[in-house]
Amino acid sequence: MTRAGLSSLLLRAEAVTGKCYVLTFSNKHNLTLADLTTSQLLPIIDAWTQIYTTHLSPKSPLVKVASPTTLQPGSSQASISRPHAQYRYMQIFENKGAAMGCSNPHPHGQIWTTTGLPEEPAVELDNLKRYRREQGGAHMLEDYATMELEKQERVVFANESFVILCPWWAIWPYETMIISRSHLRALPDLSPEQKMHLAEAISDITRRYDNLFETHFPYSMGIHQAPLEGSDEEIEASHLHLHFYPPLLRSASVRKFLVGYELMAEPQRDITPEQAAAKLRGCGGPLYRQKLE
């Protein structure tokens, strides 16, 4: 085979375009999600939902349940209008702390919208679709949340709509997920009550993180949900959930590094998810900084 033939066999590249947003969580630069009340978190969830809805494909089944996008005049999102291009996926995320590469101290998150389906959510979606086909229409994360709630070994917190848990397959020491207990495809599926429950869950886990080592606990958080454009199977198999990947291991200054065997072969657990969940369960209550005031 010629060199040109090998290139076509081994290498593939495709152009991806997109649009990015930065969403400020508060006009007070010394606050984080852990400092905000549940009611203060609701406008953030509303903004995520509105921006997501603005970018939905008109052919998506989610359009039938999505409320009309109503970006308030004068708000920081008021200039957002429907894009000319149809994007495939929207990744909403937050990097908190210098340890996670956050160079701006003000509380903010980002939204990257792309014409392609990124690798991590694509692998998840393939597994969700396969489980649904093989299990007669059941949803994997709904079943997983039910199982974890029954066992109570890795559950950190739960309310009527969401469960926070340290997943069985966790790589990072205090890795957690927020999973909707019933099948929700994406943010537009949330009722007003479920939005309040999601705000409560985000508030709870971010407070517990900060309380654990009494520090501004760093992490990367991301929302996984249905793609903006996709087949009915892709949309219906998707399940709304949030990942939190924090690097700290034993204290505010000792972090985990994925090196050597973990990088080249397989990640190793410094503590089990059960141990991590137990420690996080013991960190509830008011934010430690409020006790010092």
Residues marked as binding for Fe cation? 124, 224, 241, 243
Closest listed residue to residue 52, CA positions, set 112, 123, 127, 125: 112
Q: Is 290 left (phi over 0), alpha (psi -120 to 50) or beta?
A: alpha
Residue 173: closest CA among 243, 32, 277: 277
- Residue length, the chain? 293
Chain position carrying tokens 């396969």: 130
Please report, for residues 23, 90, 116, the alpha-carbon distance to residue 86 in angstroms, rounded to integers and kept in the order given.
21, 11, 10
C-beta separation of 163 from 178 below 8 A? yes
Residues 6+ apart with CB under 8 A from 154: 148, 165, 166, 167, 168, 273, 274, 277
Active site residues: 108
Strands 162-165 and 241-245: unpaired
* 237 touches 129 (CB < 8 A): yes
How many angstroms separate the CA atoms of 224 and 187, rounded? 10
C-alpha dist (Å) from residue 174 to 146, 244, 269, 272: 21, 8, 10, 9
* CB-based burial, 98-116: b 16+ in 10 Å, e otherwise: ebeebeeeebbbebebbbe
Cα–Cα distance for residue pair 230/172, rounded to 1 Å: 31
